[in-house]
Amino acid sequence: MAYQTFALKYRPQTFDEIIGQDHVATTLKNALAEGRVAHGYLFAGPRGTGKTTTARVLAKALSCEAGPTAEPCGECSMCLAISAGNAMDLIEIDAASHRGIDDIRELRQRVGYAPTQARCKFYILDEAHQLTPEASNALLKTLEEPPDHAYFVFATTEPHKILPTIRSRCQTFEFRPIPQAYIVEALRAIAQSEGVKVEEQALGTIARAAGGAMRDAESIFDQVIAYARGDVTLEIVNSVLGVTDAELLGNIADAVAGGNTEGVFGCVDEVVASGKDIGQLIEDLSLYFRDLLRMSLGANPPAWMQATSGGREGMQAQAAALGPRRLGEIIEELGDAAVHIRDSAQKPLLLEVTLAHLTSIPDVAPAAPATQAPQQTAEPPVEETAEPAVEEAPPPAEAAPPASEPAASEVTLDTVKSLWSQMVQTLISGGHPAVAAIVGRAEPSALEGARLELVFPASAQFEYERASKAYTTQIAGAISGLCGSVLEVSCRLQEAAPQPQAPEHSVPEGETVAETAAEDGAGDESDAERQARMVEAIKRAFDGSDEVEKSPPTQ
C-alpha cells in the first residue's frame, strides 16, 4: 500500500476526533440527534482547521447505514467508501477550478437525480469564494428549495467574498485557529503511534510554526521525522524550519538586557554568516520577548515555550532584568522593524540598527516634566535661575548668582508683575497650556509676606474656580522658580460692580473698557463662551504674548 501522509492517515473520522472545534461538532451532533440538519452550510475559517474534514464526517453521519446518526459506525459500506474517498454520492468540487456558470448549470442538472448508493447526495464546494458572481447566483434557487436528498457545504477561507444571498441561505460555522496546546497533544499522540521519541520543546516549536493549522503541523512533523530518521530534537526542528536557534535568542536577550552593543553585533554577524532569514529572526525575537513579558508579569509560559539553554531560570533572570515596561517597548519596536525589514534591500543593516537601539532603551521610569518640580512649597528650589526684580524688559542674558538668592521679604508685587508674562510662557513650554490660559485671565493684586493674591475679573468665574481647585500649586511653583523665593498663591474673584466705572488703580484704558464690558455680560455668559475664551487665551499664549489688542489703534 502506498505511503499515507500524516494529514491523511490521522484524519478525524468522527465528530469526537475533530480537534479544537467543539462548538461546531457539538452543534452538528445535536442537529443530527434531533433531526434538524439543514440543507446548506457555510464553513468559514483559516486553512487546516478542519472545514473539509468536518464536512466529510457530516456526510458519513447522514449516509451511515445505521443512521442518520451523530456517531457513524465506520464499518458499513458507506462509511468505508466515504473514508476511502470513493463514495459516488459524495461529490467534492474544487470551486477554484470549477468556478464558472457552466459548471454550476451541470451541477443543477445532476442534483435532481436520486442518489446512487447512499441515502442522500452530499456536495462539498471547497474554496467557495472563488465562484464567479454569475455562478453563485445560479445556485440561489437550488439552495432556497433543494431536493430532500441533497445537502450542500461551502468551505471557504474568505467568507466576506461569499455573496450575501448565498450566506443567507446557509447556516454559518466559524472555524477557529486550533490552540497550540491541542496541536502539541495531537502530535504527541501521533509520535506514540509511530514509535518516535520527540522532545517536548520540539513539539512546541512545530505547533507554533503551524500557526493554528493542524494540517500544517502534521505536514511539518512528517517532514521532520523523515529528516531525523530517529529521535526528533529541538535542533533538528530548528534546522528543518529555519527557526532561529534558542541559544542565539537567549544571547541576544542577554546583550539587550546588559546594554552590550558589541554582543548584539556579534549575534547579527552569526545570523548573517549562517544565512538565516532576517525576517524570521525578527519574528522569533518578538515571540521570545513576548514569553519574557509573560514571565515578568507572573504568567509563566508552558514548559514547551521555554527554549533557552538555561531553561526556566535563564528566562526568569532575563525577564527580571528587563521588566514589563521595557519588554513592552522592545516588542513594539521589533514589530515596527518587521514592517521596514520586509521590503528593505539592506536587511542586515536595519537589523543591526534595531538591535543596537534596543540596547540603549532606558530601564528606568520616565522622568516627570520639569515644570512639575516646583510643586512642593515646603522648601525653596536648589538651583533655580533667579531673575532680576527691577527690569520689565525680557530676561537678561546672565542670571543672578545662586548665593544672592533673595528672601521672601525682598520680593515685591512689582517684581511679580514684571515676571508674570514670563511665568505664562514657562507654563506653556513646560506642557501646561491650559494652566497658562487660565492664569492669563488673572493678575497679581497683593503680596503679603510670602502669600500672593491673584484677582480674576467677574467674567472669569470659570477660570477662577479651576485655578482655586486645581492649579494653585502649579502657579505657585512656576512663579516661585522665577522669583527665587517660595510663594503661596490664593485666588479671589472680583465682584461685579452694579454700574461700570473706571477702577481707582492705574490700568490701561483699553484694558478697563474690555474688563468692564466683560463684567456687564458675566451673568449671561454660557459655558460655550467660556470655553471659547479659553481657546482664545491659549492661542494668545502660544503667540508669545499675554495681551492682544482687539481694536486697531486710533489715528
Q: Got the DSSP string for 164-231? A: HHHHTTSEEEEPPPPPHHHHHHHHHHHHHHHT--B-HHHHHHHHHHHTT-HHHHHHHHHHHHHHHSS-
Beta-sheet strand order (sheet of 443-448): 443-448, 451-456, 488-493
Alpha-carbon distance of 555 to 552, in angstroms, equals 9
Instruction: State the fold for domain 6-174.
Output: Rossmann fold (3.40.50)
What kind and span of H or E run contains 279?
helix 278-296
Superfamily for domain range 375-397+404-542: DnaA, N-terminal domain (3.30.300.180)
Residue 379 corresponds to which cell in the numbers above?
A: 522648601
Q: CATH 3.40.50.300 in the chain, residues?
A: 6-174
352 within 8 A of 271, measured Cβ to Cβ: no
DSSP one-letter code for 74:
S
The predicted pLDDT at position 536 comes to 66
Beta-sheet strand order (sheet of 40-44): 90-94, 121-126, 150-156, 40-44, 171-174
Q: Which amino acid is at 22?
A: D
446 within 8 A of 505, measured Cβ to Cβ: no
Q: Residue 287, Cα to own-chain centre: how many angstroms?
A: 15
Report the 10 Å Cβ neighbour count for 236: 19
Within 8 A by CB and 6+ apart from 90, the residues are 56, 59, 63, 81, 82, 118, 122, 124
Alpha-carbon distance of 137 to 127, in angstroms, equals 16
Q: CATH 1.20.272.10 in the chain, residues?
A: 246-358
295 within 8 A of 316, measured Cβ to Cβ: yes
Alpha-carbon distance of 492 to 430, in angstroms, equals 25
Alpha-carbon distance of 547 to 443, in angstroms, equals 12
| Residue for grid cell 493678575 | 443
272 within 8 A of 264, measured Cβ to Cβ: no
127 within 8 A of 96, measured Cβ to Cβ: yes
Q: What digits encode the pLDDT tens for the residues 47-104?
A: 999 999 999 999 999 999 987 999 998 889 999 999 988 899 999 999 888 888 888 8
Instruction: Output phi, psi for 411, to 5 deg.
Output: -80, 130
Q: Residue 439, Cα to own-chain centre: how many angstroms?
A: 39
Stretches where the chain sits below pLDDT 70 are: 1, 300-312, 361-410, 431, 496-555
Within 8 A by CB and 6+ apart from 279, the residues are 338, 341, 342, 347
Q: CATH 3.30.300.180 in the chain, residues?
A: 375-397+404-542
Alpha-carbon distance of 150 to 122, in angstroms, equals 6
The predicted pLDDT at position 344 comes to 79
Within 8 A by CB and 6+ apart from 15, the residues are 25, 28, 29, 54, 57, 61, 70, 71
Q: CATH 1.10.8.60 in the chain, residues?
A: 180-241
The predicted pLDDT at position 399 comes to 43
Q: Which amino acid is at 385?
A: T
Report the 10 Å Cβ neighbour count for 157: 17
Residue 487 corresponds to which cell in the numbers above?
A: 510663594
CATH: 1.10.1470.10, 1.20.272.10, 3.40.50.300, 3.50.50.60. Which one for 246-358? 1.20.272.10
Residue 175 corresponds to which cell in the numbers above?
A: 472555524
The predicted pLDDT at position 193 comes to 93
The predicted pLDDT at position 60 comes to 94
> Domain 180-241 belongs to what architecture?
Orthogonal Bundle (1.10)
Within 8 A by CB and 6+ apart from 274, the residues are none
Q: What CA–CA distances, in Å, run from 523 to 305, 462, 493?
A: 68, 12, 14
Alpha-carbon distance of 441 to 464, in angstroms, equals 9
Residue 429 corresponds to which cell in the numbers above?
A: 513650554
The predicted pLDDT at position 319 comes to 86
The predicted pLDDT at position 384 comes to 46
